[in-house]
Amino acid sequence: MTSRSPFFFAIFLLITAGLALAVLRHVELGIPWFEGEQHPVWLVEARIDFQAENRPVMASLNIPDQPPGFQLLTEQAASPGYGFSIIEESGNRRAEWSKRYASGAQTLYFKVQLVSDDSVGGPIPKRPPEAERMFWEEPQATAVREVLQQARERSSSPESLTRELIKLMQPENPQQNTTLLVSGTNYVELLTRMLNHAGIPARIADGLQLEDARRRQRLKPFLQIYDGEQWLTFNPHTGTQGLPENVVLWRQAAVSLLDVVGGSESQVTFSMLRQTVPALELARAQANENGLGFISLYQLPIEEQGMFRMLLLLPLGAMIVAFMRIVIGIRTSGTFMPVLIAVAFVQTSLIPGLVAFISVVSLGLLMRGYLSALNLLLVSRISALIILVIFITTGISIVGYQMGFNTGMTVTFFPMIILAWTIERMSILWEEEGPREVVIQGFGSLFVAVCAYLAMSAPLAGHLTFNFPELHLVILGLILLMGQYTGYKLSELRRFHPMKAYDQ
């Protein structure tokens, strides 16, 4: 007697591998367990307005590049008559519109969908930036030196220096030096210049506060310093380190936000909307970027995806047939005929499918009665039966259509060859074992087919089998396990009940 433990171990491995892979993909790719799970997404629209001056126009907008805390889902430009492209050069991304000739008021749109994702950090510069040398004129030069001196005394690191500097520059603690500096200049730019002077690489980043259904918003400047590893963001007014929630950094590199050649009075405004998208679509959009994405079927063309959707349901039906036959003990006509019928039911929906199936089979049985009197050879009899089945289905479709039931057409989804063989088998069964057995097997098959249909048409089943194809390893394991089931079938508990009399 061979030991079965390696077999059970292999099945255990199969099932755990399937489950583990599914969990991993759920966690890593964010594929939801249930259909219809929603995730919030920000739709941000940048609107560029300018006056064209009757000459070639070229508009270039800085667009987000790895904004910290967000993931870019989609990018889209709407601008009739303009050529559009996205250009990446020396670490910053720009959207460029161009047109040979334009005049009058022009409006260009650029839309992005952003998902908040805390794991995303800002871009890491390829070459560490260096502090720029700054030149100050007197009396600012002295003021800067003194303010920086104060801040340096109270701090120990670039971060704390930045915080202290911001505090000193606030109007609440007025000093001669700071008032002199702040008056008449751009405050945030002043800060970056001072920090650069202090040997700390600093720049301005423009952020956008995301609030639902806001229109005509403008970018707010934030201060960024480089601490030797990454860019850190500070609120230039409060000195708070870190990016507030729901702020997306639209522009990080220190280049212009918008350049328009051939136009004037240009401006950019932003409007935003909070949307929800199914978590599944989100996962699909992100699948390409992840290493685990290769297992998923999302990369296939849509048509093939539809085919796989159906194909991947079959194992579920096969498992139900195996369970019904091995554990319950329901007799069916033809081993996997019920699965194929169930697949047809998925296309036709249940009630029309049942009606069509029963009418085709009963009409076929009637005609088969005549065929059996003709004494034909088996192959030609089956072939004749296939043709008859096609006639019957055509007839049902046409009659159904004339009577106004479009569902009559769906009868063509039934596999003709399988129907012909079912009729042949039923007919032989009728002749040999009597109508009772035909009814038992016929209803057994239909019952199993309906169970398989119910399982296969459940939205959850379709969702799980398609989005977690690795779960089929679990189904495979369960089917193999059933193949080793040596216990009693449910039907045997009834069949052998007279044994009570002998068991004392």
Partner 1 sequence: MNWISPLRLHRAGILSMNRRNVDYIGRYNDRSSYPLVDNKLKTKLLAAEYEVQTPKLLQVVRQQHEISHFRELVEELDGFAIKPAKGSGGKGITVITRREEDRYIKASGASVSLGFLERHLSNILAGLYSLGGTPDVAIVEDLVQPSASLAKYSFQGVPDIRIVVFQGYPVMAMLRLATTDSDGKANLHQGAVGVGLDIGTGHSLNAVQFNRTITLHPDTGLPLSDLRIDDWNHMLVMASRCYEATGLGYMGVDLVVDAKAGPLLLELNARPGLAIQMANGRGLLTRLRTIEKLKRPHFTPEGRVSYAMEMFGQ
Residues at the interface with partner 1 (CB under 8 A): 326, 329, 375, 377-379, 428, 432-433, 483-489, 492-503
Minimum separation from the CB atom of position 377 to partner 1 (A): 5
Minimum separation from the CB atom of position 371 to partner 1 (A): 12
- Rounded distance, CA 295 to CA 461, Å? 18
First to last CA, the chain: 32
Instruction: Give me the DSSP letters along 418-472.
Output: HHHHHHHHHHHHHHHH-HHHHHHHHHHHHHHHHHHHHHHHSHHHHHHHHH-TTHH
Residue type, 246: N
Nearer to partner 1, 401 or 488 (CB): 488
Instruction: Give me the DSSP letters along 6-36.
Output: HHHHHHHHHHHHHHHHHHHHHHHH---SSTT
- Rounded distance, CA 393 to CA 424, Å? 17
Nearer to partner 1, 274 or 489 (CB): 489
Minimum separation from the CB atom of position 425 to partner 1 (A): 10
Q: Which residues contact 182 (CB under 8 A, 6 or more apart)?
A: 169, 171, 190
Q: Which two tokens stand for residue 74?
A: 């989609």
Report CA-CA distances (Å) from 375 to 27, 341, 378.
Answer: 64, 29, 9
Minimum separation from the CB atom of position 328 to partner 1 (A): 12
Minimum separation from the CB atom of position 485 to partner 1 (A): 5
Nearer to partner 1, 218 or 436 (CB): 436
Nearer to partner 1, 85 or 380 (CB): 380
Minimum separation from the CB atom of position 2 to partner 1 (A): 8
Nearer to partner 1, 213 or 378 (CB): 378
Minimum separation from the CB atom of position 365 to partner 1 (A): 17
Asked if 455 and 316 count as a contact pair (C-beta separation under 8 A), the reply is: yes
What stretches of 127-235 adopt beta strand conformation (E)?
A: 202-209, 214-217, 220-226, 231-234
Torsions phi, psi for 119 (to 5 deg): -75, -10
Nearer to partner 1, 204 or 482 (CB): 482
Minimum separation from the CB atom of position 321 to partner 1 (A): 15
Nearer to partner 1, 34 or 488 (CB): 488
- Rounded distance, CA 156 to CA 169, Å? 18
- Rounded distance, CA 16 to CA 269, Å? 53
State the DSSP code for 415: -
What string of H, E and C letters represents the secondary structure of 49-107? EEEEEEEEEEEEEEECCCCCCEEEEEEEEECCCCEEEEEEECCEEEEEEEEEEEEEEEE
Nearer to partner 1, 137 or 432 (CB): 432
Nearer to partner 1, 8 or 496 (CB): 496
- Rounded distance, CA 198 to CA 152, Å? 9
Nearer to partner 1, 183 or 486 (CB): 486
Nearer to partner 1, 304 or 492 (CB): 492
Minimum separation from the CB atom of position 314 to partner 1 (A): 23
Asked if 311 and 480 count as a contact pair (C-beta separation under 8 A), the reply is: no
Residue type, 23: V
Asked if 64 and 250 count as a contact pair (C-beta separation under 8 A), the reply is: yes
Minimum separation from the CB atom of position 479 to partner 1 (A): 14
- Rounded distance, CA 104 to CA 92, Å? 30
Minimum separation from the CB atom of position 287 to partner 1 (A): 42
Torsions phi, psi for 283 (to 5 deg): -60, -40
Minimum separation from the CB atom of position 291 to partner 1 (A): 42
